[in-house]
Amino acid sequence: MSEPSYTVRIVGDLADREAGFAVRREVFVGEQGVPEELEYDAFDEPGADAVHVLAVREDGRPLGTGRLLYGPAAAERTGGDPSVGSLGRLAVTGRARGLGVGVALVRAIEDVARARGLTAVDLHAQTRALGFYQRLGYEAYGPEYPEAGIAHRAMRRAL
């Protein structure tokens, strides 16, 4: 039996927002041990310079999420360049890995970035995920550094 199909959409209501938070809690807090107080931040609040995306199965079960920061919210993560967005909080549930959900989320975030007139997207990749992002056209730069106790590298892709 095959896995049900899924769609990716921009988070538009409280239910979608909470579904995305549940995915992040499962992956980052539950699986990776990130302290919950570090996982959620001001960019998760309504009105922040952020767009959240959500992948859901046809039955409504959330499979993955991610967000794009833009404007001043992204500037402190991208070296101050207002034309660069910041992809982050990308998470896919264990049961959905290998189905292309992560790729679909990244491409949806890139589409949002293009629609906002951004010319590139930066991200802070866990070093174990470098290959995933490299296959999507991202290039690592700068040294490895810890974030929430996990090794990361900065990456960028021109749009």
Q: Residue 3: its pLDDT value, please?
A: 52
Report strand pairing: 150-158 vs 139-147: antiparallel
The reported pLDDT for the residue numbered 48 is 87
Q: Report whether 51 contacts 70 (CB < 8 A).
A: yes
Structure confidence at residue 4 (pLDDT): 59
Q: How many Å apart are CA 159 and CA 156, to the nearest integer? A: 10
Q: Are 46 and 13 in contact (CB under 8 A)?
A: no
Q: Each residue of 59-109: pLDDT tens digit? A: 999 999 999 999 988 988 888 899 999 999 999 999 999 999 999 999 999
The pairing of strands 84-92 and 62-69 is: antiparallel
Grouping H, G, I as helix, E, B as strand and the rest as coil, residue 22 is helix
Nearest to 88 by CA among 39, 131, 136, 135: 39
